[in-house]
Structure 1
Amino acid sequence: MGGTAREGTGIVLTERQRLAWLRLIRSDNVGPSTFRDLINHFGSAERALDALPELSRRGGAARPIRVASREEAEREMERAVRIGARFVGVGEPDYPPALRQIDGAPPLLCVKGHAPTGLAPALGVVGARNASVSGAKFAAYLAREAGKAGYSVISGLARGIDAAAHRATLDFGTIAVLAGGMDKPYPPENLPLLAEIVEGRGLAITEMPLGWEPRARDFPRRNRLIAGVALGLLVVEAAARSGSLISARLAGEFGRLVFAVPGSPLDPRSEGANRLIKDGAILTTGPADVLEALAPLSRIDHVAPPVVDEPERPETDMTAPDHRARAAILDALSPTPVEIDDLIRYTGLPPATVYLVLLELDLAGRLHRHSGGRVSLALGD
């Protein structure tokens, strides 16, 4: 038994806030985790934008940080409107509920299409681009049955398995995640499919800026969104080194169920899926394997409190930590990722001081953020 689309709940950004959020996330060295910490510290994106140059300077930036201008953000919003897209914030009602719960959820998504499809419990379906006829047919069958049961089917609009899953669920609700900007979908051959998706019951989403041409490094980010939106991820035909296995690893990190369809040991396209089964993925030979495992999850209310909000009482203290505090934190950091709580315990410094210094280093390009809230010093420091 599957779920149905739920009424969204959460904050509603004003257009002024939405513009400031877009400026902040488009500024240099501001990723999702940094965005959240800036909002929590300064109380609003507008105040955080004002603070970026000083924080970056204190962190030891080699050059002034680029802060996205109001004009740049306005132009991007206008381009989105022209193509029928819009921006949805992480705490807003139309933001996919399961995605907002992952570590480092994108603060803003560019979305186009049928909004309720993004609120239904979702199954991710991924696999080989050079899929076999039987693999594509079986993926379409499983996706269609999930759609009939009330699930949105989410995939990456790629050739092969992705396209088969999207086509099979056009009448039920499918979500295409783009690696580039909403106006730069890839591959070109699937442009007609994308048009069918957004003009019907489907939805397209991306975290990338308008005009962004997808590069190789952007596809793992796309896979992260697929794994984050879905309650479970189904892998059909995947080679030993493939993006589908990246999606499966991320799904496991997010606490999602991972399903894999077994294949012939003689077919290289099945090596990755067979390995997932060996490693504990749910062996999948029919729709019941997926639907019975997902049913308990789809009955849970997955709407969580907003992970980013503009607090009424921000810290807003811009006082620079003293030299000794900053030195202690720098000495404790290394290229090896460490949990921030461990860093606080080790240095004995107040959490607010540690978080502020980490923000400074991050905005200066001297810090790397990792899954699980861990941080490390950039190589060369």
Structure 2
Amino acid sequence: MHDRPHGLSDAERLNRLRLIRSDNVGPRTFASLLRHFGDAATALERLPDLARRGGASGSGRICSEADAAAELAACGKFGIDLVAPGEAHYPSRLATIDDAPPLLGVRGACDALMRPMIAIVGSRNASGAGLKFAGQLARDLGDAGFVVISGLARGIDQAAHRASVTSGTVAVLAGGHDRIYPPEHEDLLAALLDQGAALSEMPLGRVPRARDFPRRNRLISGASLGVVIVEAAHRSGSLITVRMAAEQGREVFAVPGSPINPRAAGTNDLIKQGATPVTEAADIINAVAPIMERPIMLGVREDDEPLDFATDPSDRARIVSLLGPSPISLDDLIRMAGVPPAVVRAVLLELELAGKLERHGGGLVSMI
């Protein structure tokens, strides 16, 4: 385990919340800013200047002290703690991913967040057999001491949660803690908070939008040792979770199905691509046992690389000219621009703060 730093000061927690709630600051940008400037207060002071250098016309909204204080107070009333990576109740594996949330809203029996987790996901319109199998798997994993983590969606997710309510299950929400989707799972969420927990990186009041679900999925896979897909058709949304799990170096498990069952097409494909087939919980437990014995390492992340804001205008122009609507990898950009990596990273950060750059998975960037 990596050492847990002492808890943040109240002032630093407030400033970190202001920073992540400001326009154009995502988890990766947040990490770069914090590492470069040392604390959130300094980063907040520099935001307008960096966005201007990136070509922002107006000033992007910076979350005010009052708004952040109001959010913290509302979280307190709701029983939500906002925790940073390395603090108690921040899942240790989640802290190691590239785009870990700088502050995670957690509530419930939060000790469950410190136990080993296995994700179970799958089709929203699952078959009766699929729902039954997901429940059996979740029960058996719970009996073996694992916490089942999923996305509270209809179908496989809810079957996995319901079967592990007493052993401990974690629901990852796509919206704020007070905007449960689908609404008919509010009772399930209330029940699972006794022995389990709910987590979200979104502010209270945030109604989940389509693009929030893939963001949520990276948390489901990131917090877990491995992801089990029970049923998935060819173009199933749960395959996004699998892609993220693979990018994060997590184990991928798939439940095989009949080749003539369309609901098994996605899972059978995953097995052909190298996912571990699962017919019982022991298949998962045996595969993750060696991983659990290894210490959790914070890898060197791309954000650990330095930034150099002393940019020559011609260097900046060359970097910008290489960017367009088609995603390009950071490595290609550095090579083609012939500019030091620290300069390229700084220019990309400025463009992002100006609202002009989009980051994709796998280190790809494009202009908006």
The reply to whether TM is greater than 0.5 is yes
Q: Deviations along 1:262-314, whole A, 9 cap, x unmatched?
A: 223333222211221222211111112111111111222225389799xxxxx
Q: Which amino acid aligns with 2:284?
A: V
Q: Are 1:369 and 2:359 an aligned pair?
A: yes
For CA contacts below 8 A with separation 6 or more, give which structure has more relative contact order.
1
Q: Does 1:334 align with 2:329?
A: no
**Structure 2 runs not aligned, ≥5 long:** none
Distance in 2 between the 1:106 and 1:294 partners? 25
Select the residue among 110, 113, 122 that pairs with 2:105. 110
Say how many residue pairs are matched: 368
Q: Which residue of structure 1 aligns with residue 195 of structure 2? A: 201
Q: 1:358-380 CA deviation, whole Å, 9 max, x = no partner?
A: 111111112121223332333xx
Verify the 8 A CA contact 2:229 2:254 in the aligned structure 1: yes
What TM-score, normalized by structure 1, do the two folds share? 0.90
In the alignment, the residues of structure 2 paired with residue 126 and residue 365 of structure 1 have an alpha-carbon distance, to the nearest angstrom, of 33
Instruction: Provide Cα deviations, 1:66-119, integer angstroms capped at 9, x if missing partner.
Output: 111111111111111111111011232321111111121111111111222111
Partner amino acid for 2:330? Answer: I
Q: Which amino acid aligns with 1:362?
A: E
Distance 2:241 2:356 in 1: 28
- CA-to-aligned-CA distance 1:196-235 (integer Å, 9 cap, x gap): 111x110100111110001122111111111111111111
Q: Is 1:147 aligned with 2:136? A: no
Which residue type is aligned with residue 34 of structure 1? Answer: T
Residue in 2 that maps onto 1:25: 20
- Superposition pairs for residues 148-163 of structure 1, below 5 Å? 148-163=143-158
CA distance in 2, matches of 1:333, 1:307: 23
Confirm whether residue 353 of structure 1 aligns to residue 343 of structure 2: yes
Letter in 2 for 1:93: A
Partner of 1:281: 275
* Partner in structure 1 of residue 82 of structure 2: 87
Q: Matches of residues 80-229 of structure 1 in structure 2 within 5 Å?
A: 80-198=75-193, 200-229=194-223
Q: Distance in 1 between matches of 2:162 and 2:189?
A: 10
Q: In the aligned structure 2, how far is the partner of 1:125 from the partner of 1:74?
A: 36
State the AA in 2 paired with 1:359: L
Amino acid in the other structure paired with 2:63: A
Cα pair 1:152 1:173 within 8 Å, conserved:
yes
Which amino acid counterpart does residue 286 of structure 2 have in structure 1? E
Q: Give the 3-state SS of the residue equivalent to 2:25 in structure 1.
A: coil
For residues 90-149 of structure 1, what are the alpha-carbon distances to aligned partners after superposition, in whole Å with 9 as ceiling and x for unaligned?
Answer: 232321111111121111111111222111121000012222222111111111111121
Contact 1:91-1:305 within 8 A present in 2 as well = no
* Runs of 4+ in structure 1 over 6 Å off: 305-309, 315-319
- Normalising by the residue count of structure 2, what TM-score does the alignment of the two structures yield? 0.93
Pairing of 1:236-255 with structure 2 (within 5 A): 236-255=230-249
Percent identical residues: 53
Q: Match of 1:107, as an amino acid?
A: P
Q: Structure 1 unaligned runs (5+)?
A: 1-5, 310-314
